[in-house]
Structure formats: structure tokens, C-alpha cells
Amino acid sequence: MSMFHHLKDKHYFALLLILIFSFIAFTYAHPDTYDSYIDFSKGTPFTPPRYSTAGSDAQERPLRIVISTVISPNVTIEDWRAFADYISKKLGRPTILLQRRSYKEIDQLLSNGDADISFMSTGAYCSYHGIQQLDVLAMIFYQGTMDYKTYLIALSSRNDINSMDDLRGKTMAFSDPLSYSGHINIVNELNTRYATSPSHYFSNYIYTGSHDRSIWAVKNKLVDAACVDSLVYDLILGDHPEDTNGIKIFQTIGNIPIGPIVVRSDLPAEQKEKLQQLLFNMHNDPQMAKSLKKIMIDKFVAPQQQLYTPYKKIYDKVMTDL
């Protein structure tokens, strides 16, 4: 079954795409040139120089950090820069900060061996079956927990939408095909509770590219409802409450482990140990603590890989069925 959106009305489809792509183009700012840069390629393959992981060459080459953000990148660029600069200063080696616009592209970058360390979303990690093996360095602790939820949202004025039961025949916004809170969680609910799929349950659905755009799509009546990451929604509610005015959370699903920080398995053990200790102590730096909070991190903690096992099984099943 195709994972692309299913829109029956061609005129509505065209208008919807124009509006969404206009919004995406507007929100993606062009970053200035800086030492630790973010690569915003538009789907074209990125081929950084190849380096050996052995000996002095592995110590001298830039450390390639890839981020799988759940919010539009221009919201947090400065704070990701601060993270990369901190690692660079502490390790005494340059860092390169990379980003892709979809979780699948992140997985491909890692699989090809073109990144060394990655902030992975739950979905990107649990769906990963790449050639390059990965080790989990740390997990994220934020607001007293390592978990988050899926929020189902709609306009407050929609009295006809109060639970997932009410979404049959409605239009829906997902963030990314591999996002757990922004897609797979709902697909799994439809499979297990309703014995159906998005293409049969919803009249139409779209992928917006990020959770904040899904919120925007609901607020601007492009769709009837959306499923979003609770951490992102709560962050926007606190920092930009005007962006959530008129929106209600009508259902909450799950307790989902926040995505891990991973490294290539073939990095020297000494490098992995240094990186892990840097992560565990980063929140003790007052300036870094401020930057971390802006990207929804209070501190990094020791990983518990078993927390992801049930979700990997869900991905294996759901991705087979789609």
C-alpha cells in the first residue's frame, strides 16, 4: 500500500500542496556560513569525504553529527550550533552538523557511514535497518521523564471531534512517514483497534514534514486533525502560545521513549567513551544547559535499549503491512 497521501479531489489536492510548500519554503531559513555548519540539502545525496576510523586520521577528521529534529530546523539552529561547538571545543577537533528533511534520509546517511553521531527520533531509530551498525550512547531526560506522548489535536470549535472514533472520514496530518508520535502510533492504533489503515479510515491525509507544521495545518484548517509529539506541542504552547490558540488536545496516546543518541559501532572505544562522558556532564555547563532546554533536553542519561524493543517490533509489523 502506498505511504503517500490519498487525496480524492484534485483541485483540493493542488491547493493544499501549494499552501503547504509555501509554508515550508518560508519557514526554512538559509543559515549563514559558520564553522560547525548545518547541511540543508534538498534531497540530493550528500557525500562527505571518506575517512578511516583507525589511527590518527580518525582523531583529526571532523566529527559528523546528524540531527533528526522533530521541529522545523530554523527554530533551533543556534542551539544545535552551540551543541556542535561545545563538542568541538571539548574534543579538540572540528565538528560538522548535518541535517536532512526526513527520517528516511537520516537513516540512509547513517547506513552509508556518512555520519558519526546522531540524535535520532524514536521512529528513525526503531525503523533503522542500515548496513552501518549503531551503538546507543545516551538517552534524553526532559521534564522529569524519558518519555513523551502522541497528542491528537483539532480546532477547539470542532465539537464533532472528541476522540479517535470521530476521525473516521476526516482529513489528517502526519509529520513524517517514519515518525512514531506523528504517524506510526496512529497507524498501529488503526491496525490493532479498528482493523483498518489510514487510507480506509481517513478521507485524505498528508505529511507535513514536522510536528509544528502539523499544528499549523490544523490551525489554518488544511486538515481536520493531526497527531503530534507532546514535547513539541508543549514547547510551542509555552514559547509561542499564539500558535496553539484555538486548538484542543482531544486524545493522548502512549508513553513513548524519547529517541536516543547513537554512534557508529566502528568508532574507537576510547572516542565513544569520551563522547558519552561529555554528554553525561553537558548539563553542568550553565550556558549549555540553556541551549539544551531549548532543544527539549534537561540532561543525557545512561541508555536503556530494552525500552525500544516493543517499538521496533511495531515498526517491523507496520512497515510490512503498509
Fold of 31-143+258-321: D-Maltodextrin-Binding Protein; domain 2 (3.40.190)
Angstrom distance (rounded) from CA 145 to CA 141: 6
pLDDT for the residue 53: 42
Binning pLDDT at 50, 70 and 90, where does residue 168 land?
very high
pTM: 0.80
pLDDT for the residue 30: 32
- Mean of pLDDT values over 3-13: 47
Q: With 70 as the cut, is the pLDDT of residue 169 above it?
A: yes
What CATH number does domain 10-25+147-257 carry, 3.20.20.70, 2.40.50.140, 3.90.550.10, 3.40.190.10?
3.40.190.10
| Start and end residues for every CATH 3.40.190.10 domain found in the chain | 10-25+147-257, 31-143+258-321
Residue 205: C-alpha distances to residues 6, 191, 255 (Å): 6, 16, 24
Q: With 90 as the cut, is the pLDDT of residue 74 above it?
A: no
- Mean of pLDDT values over 308-313: 95
Q: All 3 cell numbers of residue 83? A: 551543541
Binning pLDDT at 50, 70 and 90, where does residue 75 land?
low
**Lowest-pLDDT choice from 26-40, 124-138, 140-154, 282-296:** 26-40
